[in-house]
């Protein structure tokens, strides 16, 4: 399928699949969407829960990303881990890795923090299927795998569910997929996604998630956060 690099509304780039009219990130702002959905309502929310319940610094957080894609969510998370000295074990699952030519055209480091350009490059340069220490506080494992083949059980505190939309890949938004996500989360673990469609919300509730519909990022009215 034909692909091209486009500029989103906040000035950051993303990849568009023209045959689907679908983007890896929101055309209303790639960085803004990632910051709102996955960092603010995911990582920061979970961190606040830990502080509230334990009233102590967490030993570490384990994150599963569904759709590693451009590496934007991992990049933002790695920056947060350094900023707050949080130890993060990050696993990114991607069936079809983005190629180096496309990665070289993405401007996330320039838009977020020019001093972190080497960090962004390192996320993509590391080998797949192995644990890679990226910084003193962030380690990354990239797995080339279909989401339906994930068999992890109670390994993750947080899931970033960033698959392509249900309009173009409805098979990624089924009850069976969210059962896999439920299984992968530890008790009290949290899943966040940019989507807020009714059948997804219902499927999550049927599986036992506590589901919140939250204000969405620019261009979207709502998003979902689900707690096991």
Q: What is the pLDDT along the chain (228 residues), one digit of tens a residue?
A: 889 999 999 999 999 999 999 999 999 999 999 999 999 999 999 998 887 665 444 568 999 999 999 999 999 999 999 999 899 999 999 999 999 999 999 999 999 999 999 999 999 999 999 999 999 999 999 999 999 999 999 999 999 999 999 999 999 999 999 999 999 999 999 999 999 999 999 999 999 999 999 999 999 999 999 999
Domain residue ranges of the chain, discontinuous segments joined by +:
29-227
pLDDT at 55: 46
Q: What is the DSSP letter of 156?
A: E
pLDDT at 52: 63
pLDDT at 29: 96
CA atoms of 219 and 228, how far apart (whole Å):
28
Which three-class secondary structure state does DSSP give residue 105?
A: coil
pLDDT at 50: 82
Give the closest residue to 172 by CA, choosing from 100, 32, 181, 41: 181
15 bridge partner residues: 5
| pTM, to two decimals | 0.96
pLDDT at 56: 42
Instruction: Say whether domain 29-227 belongs to CATH 2.30.110.10.
Output: no
pLDDT at 53: 60
Q: What is the DSSP letter of 140?
A: E
């Amino acid at each position: 399928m034909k692909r091209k690099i486009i500029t989103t509304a906040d000035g950051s780039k993303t990849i568009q699949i023209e045959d689907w009219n679908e983007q890896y990130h929101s055309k209303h702002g790639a960085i803004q969407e990632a910051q709102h959905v996955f960092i603010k309502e995911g990582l920061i929310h979970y961190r606040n829960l830990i502080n509230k319940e334990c009233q102590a610094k967490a030993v570490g957080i384990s994150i599963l990303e569904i759709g590693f894609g451009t590496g934007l969510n991992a990049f933002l998370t790695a920056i947060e881990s350094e900023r707050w000295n949080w130890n993060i074990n990050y696993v990114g699952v991607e069936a079809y890795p983005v190629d180096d030519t496309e990665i070289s055209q993405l401007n996330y480091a320039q838009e977020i923090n020019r001093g972190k350009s080497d960090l962004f490059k390192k996320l993509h340069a590391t080998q797949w299927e192995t644990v890679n220490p990226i910084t003193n506080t962030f380690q990354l494992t990239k797995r080339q795998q279909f989401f339906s083949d994930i068999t992890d059980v109670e390994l993750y505190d947080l899931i970033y569910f960033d698959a392509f939309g249900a309009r173009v890949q409805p098979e990624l938004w089924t009850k069976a997929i969210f059962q896999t996500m439920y299984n992968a989360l530890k008790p009290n673990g949290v899943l966040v996604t940019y989507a807020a469609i009714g059948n997804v919300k219902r499927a999550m509730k049927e599986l036992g998630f506590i589901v919140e519909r939250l204000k969405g990022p620019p261009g979207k009215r709502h998003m979902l956060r689900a707690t096991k």
